[in-house]
């Protein structure tokens, strides 16, 4: 088959309403829409401060058709733990409780609560839709920002000089039953991981690459293509890790050169050829590590 017709594997029902306040071409609502299609309406969403705090709409609106709790920035996983505990105490063991946080609420300010919840193996899904900077506050660096990227707090003269935090490995190190990466350009992969996560008890972590047109300085119609490009160039490999030890690639990663991916984004415009070679070398080295993990486990 030339084109895989994915529509048959994607439920028609929408759990997300139009009129939400995401920027044009934002990947974050695409991620949510697909996630909820996989999880269904028996889901509660816990939302710390992030772009989605805005996307969900101001009071008295909600763009979600499932219950939603806006919580403090650093508390997603902890609040979700509480919600799940309360539901169980009231005899509800079926509802999926999903914390939905950005890279800040996951990799940075939220990592303590997330680590705590993961260590306790709380029965929650924590999703990180990762747009690789503090986008809601106007593009400031986060630990999810890649090396070399411009942000308003890592200006062109001194772009970010540290690599992106490896949250997947961090989460896998908690030996949680399921951790995975996926992207908005891979709806079937995303939904399959969500569905798989839904059927597992314990802490499940899903890391979704979600390009941000204004923050990455790209056109609004490039969102999906960028995510796909990142995967194809092995910058953001799509994987899953079961019980922290069984690593697996879930799609093909042709290993296209990183340069076109880097060059098309305004946030990397200042990078030299040497800088890009360095990124390529890091991607290659990281890939070798992941391949070993897939082959031998951790």
Binding positions for another protein, 25-44, rule CB under 8 A = 25-30, 33-34, 41-42, 44
Q: Which two tokens stand for residue 187?
A: 């709806």
Q: 116 vs 177, which CB is nearer to another protein?
A: 116
The answer to whether the peptide bond before residue 71 is cis (omega within 30 degrees of 0) is no
Cβ–Cβ < 8 Å for 109, 136? no
Categorise residue 167: left if φ over 0, alpha if ψ from -120 to 50, beta otherwise: alpha
**Which 192-251 positions form the footprint of another protein (CB under 8 A)?**
213, 219-225, 228
**Which 40-79 positions form the footprint of another protein (CB under 8 A)?**
41-42, 44, 46, 53-54, 56-72, 74-75, 77-79
Distance of CA 54 to the CA centre of its chain: 17
CB 156 → another protein: shortest distance, Å?
27
Residue written as token pair 């030339």: 2
* One residue of 13, 93, 112, 162 binding another protein per CB under 8 A: 112
173 binds another protein (CB under 8 A): no
CB 56 → another protein: shortest distance, Å?
6
178-183 and 204-209 strand pairing: parallel
One-character DSSP codes across 141-203: --TTSPTT--BTTB-TTS---SPPP-HHHHHHTTT-SEEEEEETT-HHHHHHHHHHHHHS-S-
CA 160, CA 142: separation in Å to the nearest integer?
A: 9
Q: 85 vs 200, which CB is nearer to another protein?
A: 85
CB 87 → another protein: shortest distance, Å?
6
Classify residue 236 by its DSSP letter. S
* One residue of 35, 100, 106, 113 binding another protein per CB under 8 A: 113
Q: 219 vs 282, which CB is nearer to another protein?
A: 219
CA 66, CA 62: separation in Å to the nearest integer?
A: 9
Which one of 24-32, 125-133, 173-181, 278-286 is the stretch in contact with another protein (CB under 8 A)? 24-32
Q: 4 vs 199, which CB is nearer to another protein?
A: 4
Q: 122 vs 240, which CB is nearer to another protein?
A: 122
CB 255 → another protein: shortest distance, Å?
15
CA 244, CA 252: separation in Å to the nearest integer?
A: 22
Torsion sign over Cα 53, 206, 154, 222: negative
CB 246 → another protein: shortest distance, Å?
26
Which one of 7-15, 173-181, 243-251, 255-263 is the stretch in contact with another protein (CB under 8 A)? 7-15
20 binds another protein (CB under 8 A): yes
16 binds another protein (CB under 8 A): yes
* One residue of 13, 86, 243, 260 binding another protein per CB under 8 A: 86
């Amino acid at each position: 088959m030339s084109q895989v017709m994915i529509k048959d594997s994607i439920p028609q029902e929408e759990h997300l309403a139009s009129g939400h306040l995401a920027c044009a071409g934002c990947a974050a609502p695409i991620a949510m829409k697909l996630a909820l299609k996989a999880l269904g309406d028996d889901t509660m969403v816990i939302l710390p401060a992030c772009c989605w705090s805005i996307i969900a709409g101001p009071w008295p609106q909600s763009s979600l058709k499932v219950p939603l709790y806006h919580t403090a920035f650093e508390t997603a996983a902890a609040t979700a733990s509480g919600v799940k505990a309360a539901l169980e105490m009231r005899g509800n063991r079926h509802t999926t409780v999903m914390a939905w946080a950005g890279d800040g609420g996951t990799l940075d300010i939220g990592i303590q609560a997330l680590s705590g919840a993961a260590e306790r193996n709380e029965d929650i899904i924590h999703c990180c839709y990762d747009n690789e900077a503090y986008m809601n506050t106007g593009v400031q660096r986060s630990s999810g920002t890649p090396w070399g990227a411009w942000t308003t707090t890592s200006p062109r003269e001194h772009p970010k000089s540290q690599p992106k935090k490896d949250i997947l490995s961090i989460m896998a190190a908690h030996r949680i039953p399921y951790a995975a990466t996926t992207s908005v350009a891979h709806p079937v992969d995303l939904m399959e991981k969500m569905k798989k996560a839904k059927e597992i008890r314990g802490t499940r972590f899903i890391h979704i690459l979600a390009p941000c047109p204004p923050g990455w300085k790209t056109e609004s119609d490039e969102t999906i293509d960028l995510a796909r490009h990142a995967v194809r160039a092995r910058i953001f490999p799509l994987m899953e890790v079961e019980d922290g030890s069984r690593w697996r690639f879930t799609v093909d990663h042709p290993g296209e050169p990183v340069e076109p991916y880097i060059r098309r984004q305004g946030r990397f415009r200042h990078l030299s050829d040497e800088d890009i070679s360095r990124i390529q070398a890091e991607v290659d080295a990281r890939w070798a590590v992941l391949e070993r993990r897939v082959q031998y486990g951790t």
